Chain A
């Protein structure tokens, strides 16, 4: 059964550097999401993306963050100038349109990737 994949699994960067986290959502899913989880804290919503544009974003998702779907299969999260407090696990998720998926996928469930651990030094 296809899964959401994310690369890299662990990224270490210096403060102020740009990072790009990559996700390959499940094929035929059309809604995409980024979440983050600071160590020991709850998962937090960052942004949702549909039809090649951001549909909703949280207060965390400021001008330092951007998302892109460059080629129809990848979904990326870019942090332009990383800060120490950006250190966290970043999860990508995808969701099919309800009623269209069939098979093993429940229409309104978000399927999460394994995450990328970002460490900012």
Chain B
């Protein structure tokens, strides 16, 4: 069964600081790996998407990395803002036309002033 594990479960950081979230997966092979941001009570919104051959992808202050050999990905948030408070979800897509997504449980980030 496909597994996507994320750590930490939650973290609190001060505004302006950086943080890094981890994702370990066992989905293999996979089509792509995404990081989604989910605000409370809202649907997930795609931040980054990487194929298995990509090592890094940036979207503003968000930088995702991927190590396909160790099956690990990370999401780095630079100079955090209050609006970064959300759940960040690692999502892996197995090969196939249907793009059935395997979701991690997410890391809840709280940014405090």
* Interface residues in chain A, defined as those with a beta carbon under 8 Å from any beta carbon in chain B: 4, 31, 35, 41-45, 48, 50, 55-56, 89, 91, 93, 95, 106, 108-115, 117
Flag if B99 contacts A108 (CB, 8 Å): yes
Contacts of B19 in A (CB 8 A): none
State whether A4 and B46 are in contact (beta carbons under 8 Å apart), knowing that A41-B105, A95-B99 are contacts in the complex.
no
Within 8 A of A (CB), among B88-102: 89, 93, 97-102
- Beyond A4-B43, A31-B99, list 6 extra A-B contacts (CB 8 Å): A35-B101, A42-B106, A45-B103, A56-B98, A91-B43, A110-B46
Contacts of A42 in B (CB 8 A): 89, 103-106
Name the residue on A nearest B106 (C-beta): A42
Contacts of A56 in B (CB 8 A): 98, 100
Provide 7 A-B residue pairs closer than 8 Å at the C-beta atoms, listed in order of the A residue.
A41-B105, A42-B105, A48-B100, A109-B46, A112-B44, A113-B43, A115-B42
Q: How far is the CA of A43 from the CA of B100 in the complex (A)?
A: 12
State whether A44 and B103 are in contact (beta carbons under 8 Å apart), knowing that A56-B98, A108-B32, A109-B34 are contacts in the complex.
yes
Number of interface residues of B (CB under 8 A): 22
Name the residue on A nearest B34 (C-beta): A109
Q: How far is the CA of A108 from the CA of B30 in the complex (A)?
A: 13
Contacts of A112 in B (CB 8 A): 43-45
Contacts of B32 in A (CB 8 A): 108
Contacts of A31 in B (CB 8 A): 98-99
Q: Which of A41, A43, A48, A55 has the most CB of B within 10 A?
A: A43
Within 8 A of A (CB), among B22-56: 31-32, 34, 41-46, 49
Least CB distance, B39 to chain A, in whole angstroms? 10
Name the residue on B nearest A4 (C-beta): B43
Contacts of B44 in A (CB 8 A): 43, 91, 112
Least CB distance, A109 to chain B, in whole angstroms? 5
Contacts of A91 in B (CB 8 A): 43-44
